[in-house]
């Protein structure tokens, strides 16, 4: 699960003021409530304080990630906050904390550990943390996370490519999922393009060709094609004649092809 699947703009507050650790916690809990994640705000606060009683959730470098599993959680969620002036959160390095993520998780499962692990990996990059601290709007804050996760996903893809002789490009697939919804459906064209570029640049820097896959209307309306000039373009359009007013390298012309040895229909493509 992506971090941005659990964090929405309503649960992000930037440049806030907090007198101390308790005030920071209360602000984050209010953001969780605003995001619709809590069934019982008071009970969730008790769970957060109980976890803090076991040891501070500050992770040094001005970052803290308070978290708790509780029956008071209605839906899994995140809240995030930056402070204009950091507060003493009991960090081992004695530095005040000014960048916070709060995790709300239900009692069943270990989703909080999965999210905590993903956050730890991303937040250990000083450049990423600096982007979050410098964000001027919740949307910019979320866009920074989207880009970081695109790089992380590209790195995962690269790990899976080890040991294979790959001659074709590695593609970033961006499109609307039929019959489903996601936060990425509503991000801006610029944010979506930035994610594609972040993914492709990570692939290129590892020595592979990189590209972007989608269909015509998505390329036209949801991506800035001018920013994708360095990458291969794979266009899906199921018809006899391609109608696409831009450069392309591969045309996926059918989803009803057949290949000996494969019992189901397959996509058919022409590479140029």
* Separation between Cα atoms, residue 23 and residue 20, nearest integer Å: 5
Q: What is the mean pLDDT of each run of 10 residues along the chain (272 residues)?
A: 84 96 97 95 96 93 94 94 96 95 88 81 89 94 90 92 94 84 75 92 95 95 94 96 94 95 95 92
* Separation between Cα atoms, residue 91 and residue 227, nearest integer Å: 42
DSSP, res 48: H
What local confidence, expressed as pLDDT, does residue 2 receive? 77
CA angle 81, 84, 89 (to 5 degrees): 65
* Separation between Cα atoms, residue 187 and residue 43, nearest integer Å: 33
pLDDT in tens, 226-261: 999 999 999 999 999 999 999 999 999 999 999 999
* Separation between Cα atoms, residue 158 and residue 143, nearest integer Å: 23
Name 251's bridge partners: 235, 270
User: Is residue 67 flagged as an active site residue?
Assistant: yes
**How far is residue 2 from each of residues 149, 182, 208, 232, measured CA to CA in Å?**
8, 11, 25, 26
pTM over cut 0.85 = no
| Active-site residue, from 67, 112, 192, 232 | 67
CB within 8 Å of 28: residues ≥ 6 apart: 66, 79, 81, 100, 102
What local confidence, expressed as pLDDT, does residue 240 receive? 92
What local confidence, expressed as pLDDT, does residue 119 receive? 87
What local confidence, expressed as pLDDT, does residue 182 receive? 66
Chain CA centroid to CA 18, Å: 27
What local confidence, expressed as pLDDT, does residue 118 receive? 82
- Alpha helices for 35-88 (secondary structure H): 41-53
DSSP, res 60: S
Burial of 138 (0-12, 13-18, 19+ CB in 10 A): middle
């Amino acid at each position: 699960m992506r971090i941005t699947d659990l964090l929405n703009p309503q649960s992000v507050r930037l440049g806030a003021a907090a007198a101390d650790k308790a005030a920071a916690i209360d602000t984050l809990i209010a953001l969780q409530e605003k995001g619709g994640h809590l069934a019982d705000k008071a009970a969730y606060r008790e769970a957060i304080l109980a976890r803090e009683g076991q040891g501070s959730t500050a992770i040094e470098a001005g970052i803290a990630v308070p978290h708790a599993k509780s029956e008071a959680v209605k839906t899994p969620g995140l809240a995030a906050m930056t402070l204009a002036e950091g507060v003493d959160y009991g960090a081992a390095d004695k530095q005040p904390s000014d960048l916070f993520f709060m995790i709300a998780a239900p009692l069943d499962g270990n989703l909080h550990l999965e999210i905590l692990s993903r956050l730890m990996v991303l937040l250990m990059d000083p450049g990423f943390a600096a982007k979050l601290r410098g964000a001027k709007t919740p949307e910019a804050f979320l866009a920074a996370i989207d880009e970081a996760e695109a790089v992380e996903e590209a790195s995962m893809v690269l790990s899976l490519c080890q040991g294979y002789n790959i001659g074709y490009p590695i593609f970033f697939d961006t499109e609307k999922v039929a019959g489903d919804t996601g936060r990425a459906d509503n991000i801006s064209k610029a944010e979506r393009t930035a994610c594609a570029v972040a993914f492709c640049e990570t692939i290129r820097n590892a020595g592979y060709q990189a590209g972007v896959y989608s269909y015509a209307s998505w390329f036209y309306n949801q991506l800035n094609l001018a920013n994708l000039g360095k990458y291969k373009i794979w266009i899906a359009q199921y018809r006899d004649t391609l109608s696409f007013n831009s450069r392309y390298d591969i045309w996926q012309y059918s989803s009803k092809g057949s290949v000996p040895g494969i019992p189901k229909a397959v996509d058919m493509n022409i590479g140029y």
